[in-house]
Amino acid sequence: MAEEMDPCSFTSFQKYTTKHLNLRWHLNFKSRIIQGSAALTIEVLEQKLSNLILDTKDLKIFKILVNGQKATFSLGPKHWFKGSPLEITPPFQLERGQQAVVEIFYETCPEASALQWLNPEQTAGKRHPFLFSQCQFIHCRSITPCQDTPAVKQTYYAQVSAPKELIAVMSAICDGDEPDCKDSKQRILQFRQKIPIPSYLIAIVVGALESREIGPRSRLWAEKEAIEKAAFEFAQTETMLKTAESLVGPYLWERYDLLVLPPSFPYGAMENPCLMYVTPTSIAGDRSLADGISHEIAHCWMGNLVTNKTWEHFWLNEGHAVYIERVISGRMYNEKCRQFAAIGGWNYLCDSIKTLGKTNKLTNLVPNLAEVDPDEAFSCVPYEKGFALLYHLEQLLGGQDVFIKFLHAYVWKFAFKSITTDDWKTFLYDYFKDKADVLNKVNWDAWMNTPGMPPAQPQYDTTLADKCTTLSQRWSKAKESELYSFSSADIEEMTPLQLIEFLSQLLLKDPLPLKHVQRMQDVYSFNAVTNMEIRFRWLRLCLRSKWDNAVPLALRMVTEQGRLKFTRPLFRDLYDFTKFRQEAINAYMKYKQSMHPCTALLVGRDLHLLQEELTAAF
């Protein structure tokens, strides 16, 4: 078989692998720098090894020791998104099976792409600074030299020196603290992750955090101002965990803590082990958006135990997490809810493929990422095409219970490993030996390696979606003279998720005439809605109908929070609203400095202010 490669990494995971990572970090909030060392215990996998390459990005390397002896090293030229390869030559040769400790003394730069350093004014409490990391996909290399590929899994131990008045938490179990004898203003916290994890799951957050127990193995972390509301919103965490365990087996990570990030966090949530991250934009006050938690819970098995070997196989993480997330919602509520979520997912996929273009190779389930920045390739395709495939297989192979048993077996077959789509498929054929004829009917090439919508559209129960479909069709077909027929009663009995679906369906169609959206505001008062998923779709609808009034609201939304899912499309819509293009650009320029580095980069590209070649200098 051809040797697998990770196109996003410089390291050779077939030649050597990291078993353990020992981090010593001194955080300096004033200079926005982490100073410290990383000791990697590596194991040699080939006959003889005379040098090795690690990933780095914007790191200053001072000194490297291998088993305590000085090694020579050189940093290669900086690639615009992969960073620089760090080549290390130990003073002796290593042999197959041998372990060695590679200790690197280094510091990060203030622009490290994994980190956002917030001023006190950018926090809810306004008194203390805040720091958070986001390593997925390939930003871990900007905070520590490592084999920054999901093909490699290591345990880790960290000693973090942080200001005494702040709390530090990591994607690990806290192992105690001690005074920092070198810096009386700081103290050292220790963390231990005993389960081998890929580098993208290393995470650290430091701030004026408070906590509250929300379950027997779950504690909620947030700034004081946010904790009450969040504790209500996420109260069902333990029920979701138990439901997940009943599907895919025991939870191995000991703790499942939740952390609410500042509004600039670029994602909805992130499955960091022992410490799930969640955006404050999913706190609606009525638990309507809390189902995202079950997605992250699903990752504790799908992604964190069984991991995609490279980012080209990302659908293995996300497609399976979405599948399990929806089964959890089916079990906790009812099957109609699962079906409704699946319909929403299919429509989301239609919308994204329309935007990306149906011949765009990045819409393949298994894309080729050579020279592609995974942050830029990110879309709902691995989530929703992946889900559609798994649901399609569920239907072909005998239904939900049969398929869940397969997934249970899949998890424990590949737990602690990193796998490719081929490994998954081989196991599928092996598990369903008796149904090879059924499996052979699947058009694998169309599902996996062809852009655009999947070759088969699954049938879903439309009970909960019907209202949304009927109402969206009424609006898109209505003539101006018929607008009087709409009233607030239309949506009285719709749930927040149904309103989201109603608006999503309208966004799939041609823009509504201006008079229509104005009437919609009169009867439904969407401008006053604070549920961010509803607000986001409503503002997009208005911008696409070129309603001036929506512009200040949209500008407020993109500057008050930084979730990519909302911020990028809104900025793009503002850009396309020619009359306000300059205003959008001005807002971006004004806020760029205080934005998350990934958001600043991607929005800059969307607004055509940055070109790829310029990105390295950004």
Active-site residue set:
296, 383
Size of the site for ligand BES (CB under 6 A): 14
Cα 398 to Cα 250, 394, 401, 406, 510, distances in angstroms? 25, 6, 8, 11, 39
Choose the one of Zn ion, ligand BES, none that binds residue 267, judging by a C-beta under 5 to 8 angstroms depending on kind: ligand BES
CA distance 18 to 124: 39
Restricting to residues 256-315, which ones interact with ligand BES according to CB under 6 A?
267-271, 292, 295-296, 299
CA distance 517 to 256: 43
Choose the one of ligand BES, Zn ion, none that binds residue 270, judging by a C-beta under 5 to 8 angstroms depending on kind: ligand BES
For residue 220, give the H/E element and its range: strand 218-223
**DSSP states along 222-279:** EEHHHHHHHHHHTTTHHHHHHHHHHHH----SS--EEEEPPTT-SSSEE--TTEEEE-
Spatial CB neighbours of 355, under 8 Å, sequence gap ≥ 6: none
Choose the one of ligand BES, Zn ion, none that binds residue 162, judging by a C-beta under 5 to 8 angstroms depending on kind: none
Size of the site for Zn ion (CB under 5 A): 2
Restricting to residues 79-118, which ones interact with ligand BES according to CB under 6 A?
none
Residue 432 interacting with ligand BES (CB under 6 A):
no
Q: Nearest CA to 439 among 376, 472, 396?
A: 396
CA distance 11 to 85: 8
CA distance 160 to 271: 21
Restricting to residues 555-574, which ones interact with ligand BES according to CB under 6 A?
565
Write the interaction track for ligand BES spanning residues 343-382; mark x where CB under 6 A is met and - where it is not.
-----------------------------------x----
How far apart are CB 177 and ligand BES at their closest, in Å? 29
Write the interaction track for ligand BES spanning residues 210-249; mark x where CB under 6 A is met and - where it is not.
----------------------------------------
Structure tokens at 463: 């009970």
Q: Residue with structure tokens 């900007």?
A: 142
How far apart are CB 375 and ligand BES at their closest, in Å? 7
Cis before 137 (ω within 30): yes
Choose the one of Zn ion, ligand BES, none that binds residue 137, judging by a C-beta under 5 to 8 angstroms depending on kind: ligand BES
CA distance 534 to 501: 9
Do 80 and 98 contact (CB within 8 A), yes or no? Answer: no
- Which residue lies nearer to Zn ion by CB, 171 or 186? 171
Give residue number: closest CB to ligand BES.
Answer: 292
How far apart are CB 268 and ligand BES at their closest, in Å? 3
- Which residue lies nearer to Zn ion by CB, 152 or 297? 297
Do 207 and 226 contact (CB within 8 A), yes or no? Answer: no
- Which residue lies nearer to ligand BES by CB, 133 or 472? 133
CA dihedral in degrees (352, 357, 359, 360; nearest 10)? -70
Give residue number: closest CB to Zn ion.
Answer: 321
Write the interaction track for Zn ion spanning residues 310-339; mark x where CB under 5 A is met and - where it is not.
--------x--x------------------
- Which residue lies nearer to ligand BES by CB, 90 or 266? 266
How far apart are CB 270 and ligand BES at their closest, in Å? 5
- Which residue lies nearer to ligand BES by CB, 108 or 113? 113
State the residues that interact with Zn ion by CB under 5 A.
318, 321
Q: Which residues bind ligand BES (CB under 6 A)?
A: 136-137, 267-271, 292, 295-296, 299, 318, 378, 565
